[in-house]
Amino acid sequence: IIAVGFGSAIMAFTVDLGIAYLLFLDQPHATCGKDVAREVWSAEFLAVLTTVGSFLLLLISDFKILAQIGVFSALGVAFALLFVHLVFPRIFPAMPPARKPGNPLLSNAVQKFAAPAKWKLIAAIIFGLAMLFFAKPVFNVDMNSMNSMSEATMNADKKMQGVWGNLSGRCYVFLQASDMTQLREKNDQLAGWLAGDIRDEKLSPPFLPTVLFPSPETAQHNYAAWSAFWNKDRVAELKRNLSAAGKENDFAPDAFEPFWKIINRTTIGSFDIPEKYFDMLGIAKSSAGYTQLSLLASGKNYNAEDFFERLSRSGLAKIFDADLFNKRLGDFLKDLFLEIAIIISIGLGLITFLYFLDWQLTLAAMAPIVFALFATLGTMKIIGHPLDIPGIMLWIIIMGMGDDYSVYYICHYQRNVDEKSPAMHTIKLAIFLAALTTLIGFGVLALADHALLRSIGIVSFLGIIYSLIGVFFILPSLMDKIFAPIAYPADKVVIGSRDHLRRTVLRYRHLPGYPRVFARMKIMMDPMFRELHKYVKNPRRIIDIGCGFGVPATWLLEIYPDARVFGIEPDVERVLIASRVIGSRGRVEAGRAPDLPHVEGEADHVLMLDMLHLISDDEVKIVFQRIYDKLTADGTLLIRTTIPSDKPNPWKRWIETSRLKMTGMPNRFRSETEIADFMKQAGFAVQVFASDTRSIEEKWFAGKKY
């Protein structure tokens, strides 16, 4: 039940996924559902990835309930992401321009609130450090604090217990025995064991079956004590006193005969417990034997922990104390949810780093969460509200929400790097609305009379509002600082050196992790970069068709400081990355061959690297002719492509062929003769060069105008 309830609360913040998607869909211009899904994918994927990964880490915990919460929450959040990105584009395949703009007052207010400013960052740091001084959590894990009694009533009850002890305290002792004889013996042992606590006023004298129905051994012991007490002198004195009192009050001479028979009794008798008294004595009979449940009342010196430990060690009986159970359950839940919070915090940081592969962006993403934690704990300390079980449980949810806000902001900033871009305006509004809807849903509970609901409201209101302030006050300035333009080295680079690699990869700094890793690995592993400079000499204007992430282009830009690159690429995500790394030294457009990018004047080099197999023969003819017309008189068309060999399934071609099959594209690997013929038909003089690296199928084709 806890797993379902808590997991459902976790999944509640996945509504943020839908809010972001719909806001990007509802724009002043026409939008496409698939394009919107692509726009928000990186942010929403990372938000869900951190949530799923963090909750799956709960599987390493010793608590089985944590594993159930983790799996339930992870599956729920993952399915929510799939719904948004698979179902929404089908429900909203296209959206016409919005008929009227959104609320300009709200939009302007959000933009001003989230605008970067140094004073906001300084104010957040000062406030966070001030709250850190107070951020010493006081835990209140009393389960009774979660009931519906008023605060005044609970305080009065505590005061009564402090003066008089726990007068209402009750505990139950549970005995088990295979037969009635053993049960009576255990009752006798229990009575003797409790005698010391009764003397010390830890317990009130209990009513046990042994009082009325002692075992034979106890009965014999009682009889011996009875006989020792009623010696001849006491009996004689009592007889005299009773006789005088009887005469004085006109009692018959034999009025006390039954009493004297008991006094003078010499036999003990039988004390078997009749079955008709079982219910009264708390005894139950079953196929396994007998059980007995007896009520004990606590005294003013009663200590539940001590009593439980001593009785448990004795092995005589089991005990249930409601107050002790509540206390231990509270401690268990506190440890449980603190463990969740610690594991999820580690998971959030680890997964965020593995996604960004950038320690600066990872720390930036965690900064609003840390700020919200310090500010929330400090404020709760100042207002005198302890951190109770609902607060610990809810903080995990708030931490996930705060991480989502940070991820949304950073991922969209990575794509746009402009605070004033429409996409950044939209994502800021999405973050604000997501926080506002959560505040309305949870925050109003702060006004509730019920202690549990009020605690949930206070913690959620503080946590969410501080998370939002952290994102809008801290991240804008940090993003400006992290993504500030840098001056690239202007000195001449040694081609293929470690410095050449470093300077090229530097252009990809703080971009998404995959393009950065791809660029580094591509340069280090692909023989292209040991040979490219041989065929591109002193370029001024380079056209790069199918430029991808712009890796070859940036490699050449580092060699030739005066060169400019104009690329064209069908994948809009790669266009974004290539545009960023090329920067002011060129331009990249979305499109595909046979189209060429717009370039004023002629180009001296055109690159078609590892992409010729992606276009048809007709497209090859058209693009070659267009390239011929665009090149200067001494310009060069440089092609690198795979020429299938007789080798069975070389691994690189096998991977590419598999990829083409998965994407539904035909396999158009051509022979050397076919490519050379196409180039000659366009008017090029063709030279073919094998790669310097043996055992690879790629070849170079250099075309010059006649």
CA distances 64 to 58, 70, 331, 340, 393, Å, are 9, 10, 17, 12, 17
CA distances 625 to 631, 668, 700, Å, are 10, 20, 19
Band of residue 539 on the pLDDT scale cut at 50, 70, 90: very high
- 702 vs 490, residue with greater confidence: 702
Which residues fall within 8 angstroms of residue 271, CB to CB, at 6 or more apart? 212, 213, 214, 215, 216, 219
CB 411 within 8 A of CB 403: no
Q: Residue 320: beta bridge partners?
A: 172
User: Could you report the per-residue pLDDT of 615-664, keeping only the tens digit for each?
Assistant: 999 999 999 999 999 999 989 999 999 888 877 667 777 777 787 778 77
Residue 213, pLDDT score: 83
User: Could you report the per-residue pLDDT of 330-371, keeping only the tens digit for each?
Assistant: 777 677 767 777 777 787 888 889 888 899 999 999 999 989
Give CATH 3.40.50.150 domain extents, the chain: 498-705
Across residues 389-413, what is the average pLDDT?
A: 79
Spatial distance between the Cα atoms of 637 and 706, rounded to a whole number of angstroms: 12
Q: Where are the alpha helices (DSSP H) in 550-601?
A: 551-559, 572-582
Residue 639, pLDDT score: 94
Residue 211, pLDDT score: 81
- 567 vs 402, residue with greater confidence: 567
Band of residue 476 on the pLDDT scale cut at 50, 70, 90: very high
How far from the centroid of its chain's Cα atoms is residue 349's Cα? 10
Spatial distance between the Cα atoms of 150 and 144, rounded to a whole number of angstroms: 11
Spatial distance between the Cα atoms of 457 and 394, rounded to a whole number of angstroms: 10
Residue 165, pLDDT score: 52
Residue 62, pLDDT score: 65
Residue 542, pLDDT score: 95
Residue 699, pLDDT score: 92
How many Cβ atoms are within 10 Å of 177's Cβ, its own excluded?
18
Strands 283-286 and 289-297, bridge-based pairing: antiparallel
Element holding 367 (H helix, E strand):
helix 359-383
Query: Angle, to 10 degrees, between the axis of helix 64-82 and the axis of helix 2-12?
Result: 30
pTM above 0.85, yes or no: no
Q: Residue 426: beta bridge partners?
A: none
Strands 283-286 and 564-569, bridge-based pairing: unpaired
Structural tokens at position 61? 């915990």
Spatial distance between the Cα atoms of 372 and 422, rounded to a whole number of angstroms: 28
Spatial distance between the Cα atoms of 198 and 89, rounded to a whole number of angstroms: 74
Worst-scoring range by mean pLDDT, 232-246, 514-528, 556-570, 653-667? 653-667
* pLDDT cut 90: percent of the chain above it: 27
Residue 649, pLDDT score: 66
Residue 628, pLDDT score: 93
| Pairs from 645-654 (Cβ < 8 Å, separation ≥ 24) | 645/697, 647/697, 650/696, 650/697, 652/696, 652/697, 653/697
- Beta-carbon-side half-sphere exposure of residue 547 (alpha carbons within 13 Å): 36
Nearest CA-CA partner of 672 in 654, 689, 656: 689
Across residues 215-237, what is the average pLDDT?
A: 83
User: Could you report the per-residue pLDDT of 98-148, keeping only the tens digit for each?
Assistant: 887 777 888 888 888 888 889 999 999 999 999 888 877 666 655 555 555
Q: Which residue do the tokens 């026409």 mark?
A: 30
Look at domain 2-143+328-482 and name its CATH class. Answer: mainly alpha
Does the domain at 498-705 match CATH 1.10.10.60? Answer given as no
How far from the centroid of its chain's Cα atoms is residue 673's Cα? 57
Structural tokens at position 546? 């199918």
Residue 187, pLDDT score: 86
Q: Residue 284: beta bridge partners?
A: 291
CB 635 within 8 A of CB 605: yes
CB 706 within 8 A of CB 686: no
CB 65 within 8 A of CB 3: yes
User: Could you report the per-residue pLDDT of 29-76, keeping only the tens digit for each?
Assistant: 888 988 889 888 888 888 888 877 767 776 776 667 667 777 877 888
Spatial distance between the Cα atoms of 166 and 32, rounded to a whole number of angstroms: 68
Spatial distance between the Cα atoms of 345 and 336, rounded to a whole number of angstroms: 14
* pLDDT cut 70: percent of the chain above it: 89
Complete edge-to-edge strand list for the sheet that includes strand 283-286 = 283-286, 289-297, 170-177, 318-321
Band of residue 528 on the pLDDT scale cut at 50, 70, 90: very high
User: Could you report the per-residue pLDDT of 174-199, keeping only the tens digit for each?
Assistant: 999 998 888 888 888 888 888 888 88
CB 704 within 8 A of CB 636: yes
Average of per-residue pLDDT values in the chain: 84
Residue 14, pLDDT score: 67
Across residues 323-330, what is the average pLDDT?
A: 77
Element holding 291 (H helix, E strand):
strand 289-297
Which residues fall within 8 angstroms of residue 172, CB to CB, at 6 or more apart? 293, 294, 295, 296, 319, 320, 321
One-letter amino acid of 243:
S
Worst-scoring range by mean pLDDT, 97-106, 544-553, 677-686? 97-106
Structural tokens at position 562? 């005066």
